[in-house]
Amino acid sequence: MREETLLHRKAAEQLREYFDGKRKVFDLPLAPVGTEFQMRCWDALLEVPYGETRSYGDIARAAGSPKGFRAVGMANNRNPIAMIIPCHRIIGSDGKLVGYGGGLDIKVFLLELERKNAHS
């Protein structure tokens, strides 16, 4: 069994705070590994405010590839720390909930949790 580190404890504490509606931004050192485009997508995801959503096209534009909305979906799929880099906040351009590696029921849960606590 691997030893729990200070980072593990800090991440667990911040996740508890998030699910309790007390944390809106994670304060953890992030070092995800991906392509240059994936990294730009993940940076753009970190800019989406708690309780808000953006479209795949919005993230594609923010990542410097205005027509790359499908590639944004692939970057989301490869997101190694999905709770911390909030890919659940990305929706279809028509406002519909589409694609989430954890399942749409989890995506709905996370978005509702954030909407409920966004102004508290």
CA 28 to CA 102: how far, in whole Å? Answer: 21
Q: Which of 62, 71, 84, 87 is catalytic?
A: 87
Q: Which residues of 55-85 are buried (b: 16+ CB within 10 A; e: fewer)?
A: bbbbbbbbbeeeebbebbbebbebbeebbbb
**Dihedral angle sign, alpha carbons of residues 88, 85, 92, 100:** negative
Please work out, in degrees rounded to the nearest 5, the angle formed at the alpha carbon of residue 93 by the alpha carbons of 88 and 99.
35
Q: Active site includes 87? A: yes
Q: Which residues are catalytic?
A: 87
